[in-house]
A = this chain, B = another copy of it.
């Protein structure tokens, strides 16, 4: 069901922009009613959606796609009820739009505040995982933003079935369905066109691997949230509680090895390396971890799962059961290593020394810095934000998990008494 029609991206952008002005004026109650309708219709049309999903699965299977990948990313069968529950949870999240802050008097007689407003139109470019279609659209709706979606070609049939339900729910709730639009083509030139629509799209959110982010950064004239890629470090200081540290390291490496906040490199202070590193290897090797050790670490380890690190290993996001190991002289060398190799996602120190911890937390310039905790907490729900649309590793607008508030901006509201500037 890949569309062969030519898509008029300009018109699509114009329609989204017009719809975004309607969305910005909705009350929280109106947005919540529409979200409730989305949840209801997703439940009512689950059969249609899963039928479309089975088409995508059959095509992927025929094309020889890895069945594990299909199960983990493409298949919605076991995910529909969770997806619908997530939509109902968005209803309960606080609506940041309209919040007034930084209110004050400004001479000669002005009353000034900032007011949270939607960003406008979000362009979201993603790969596989059709649940992103629903997640992003509902978080955008809650914050009054229109979306233009472009998912992976592998999931086009599923995505179109989902978008059909989403748009129907909007219409039934009295909201223009142009607020959620889908670029229904596998042709990548529409992605390139989309990235140039700065007169209509306010923000590009890529959800996918490093190459997608690089492509967006290279071609977009619209601000892009760069993120998702995490080469994450933990540094074990000589004063750390070692048995407790071992638990944190195991959690950071093993809980979900294929996600961006999983541990990639362990740095160990030289004073404890000889005793601690073998314990790390023993514990994690039992769970299937393979190790890449730099020379000083390698010399301390005699285990079949350990091999010498090669060029580039410390600049690799492992996305699986591999862990880099390095012995460092001191805190400064740990900080220098992280500055050189981190993607500024999530990095932490394990120590009993508060001064060392404070120095680390200041010197390491990552979106999230940790003292005595697992890097796995860099996540919208783990940090108590309720949801997230992306994890930013760039410096502008938002760092780390982007939740509802990060999908808004502000305007200055200035109230005078027919006040000229003096």
Residues of B within 8 A of A376 (CB): 420-421
- Asked whether any CB of chain B lies closer than 8 Å to the CB of A33, the reply is no
- Asked whether any CB of chain B lies closer than 8 Å to the CB of A417, the reply is yes
A367 to B114, CA, bound (A): 10
Q: In A220-246, which residues have CB < 8 Å from any B CB?
A: 221, 223-224, 241, 244-245
- Asked whether any CB of chain B lies closer than 8 Å to the CB of A65, the reply is no
Residues of B within 8 A of A357 (CB): 415
Is A350 in contact with B21, judged by CB distance below 8 angstroms? Answer: no
Residue-wise interface mask of A (350-367) relative to B, using a CB-CB cutoff of 8 A (1 in contact, 0 not): 100000010001110111
Number of interface residues of A (CB under 8 A): 71
Residues of B within 8 A of A245 (CB): 418
Residue-wise interface mask of A (60-74) relative to B, using a CB-CB cutoff of 8 A (1 in contact, 0 not): 000000000000000
Nearest B residue to A109 by beta-carbon distance?
A: B373
On whether A412 and B369 interact (CB within 8 A), knowing A241-B418, A421-B255, A421-B374, the answer reads: yes
Is A373 in contact with B110, judged by CB distance below 8 angstroms? Answer: yes
Which of B110, B198, B373 meets A414, CB within 8 Å? B373
**Quick one: copies of this chain in the complex?**
2
Residues of B within 8 A of A409 (CB): 395-396, 399
A317 to B119, CA, bound (A): 24
- Asked whether any CB of chain B lies closer than 8 Å to the CB of A92, the reply is no
Is B384 in contact with A106, judged by CB distance below 8 angstroms? Answer: yes
Is A418 in contact with B247, judged by CB distance below 8 angstroms? Answer: yes
A248 to B115, CA, bound (A): 24
A390 to B4, CA, bound (A): 45
Is A396 in contact with B106, judged by CB distance below 8 angstroms? Answer: no
- Asked whether any CB of chain B lies closer than 8 Å to the CB of A79, the reply is no
- Asked whether any CB of chain B lies closer than 8 Å to the CB of A368, the reply is yes
Is A396 in contact with B399, judged by CB distance below 8 angstroms? Answer: no
A244 to B417, CA, bound (A): 9
Residue-wise interface mask of A (29-67) relative to B, using a CB-CB cutoff of 8 A (1 in contact, 0 not): 000000000000000000000000000000000000000
A412 to B223, CA, bound (A): 22
State the 10 A-B residue pairs at the shortest beta-carbon distance, nearest first. A373-B416, A251-B420, A244-B418, A376-B421, A368-B412, A397-B397, A373-B419, A396-B397, A223-B396, A395-B409
Report 7 cross-chain contacts, Cβ distance below 8 Å, ordered by A residue.
A119-B395, A223-B223, A367-B412, A368-B412, A368-B413, A374-B421, A383-B414
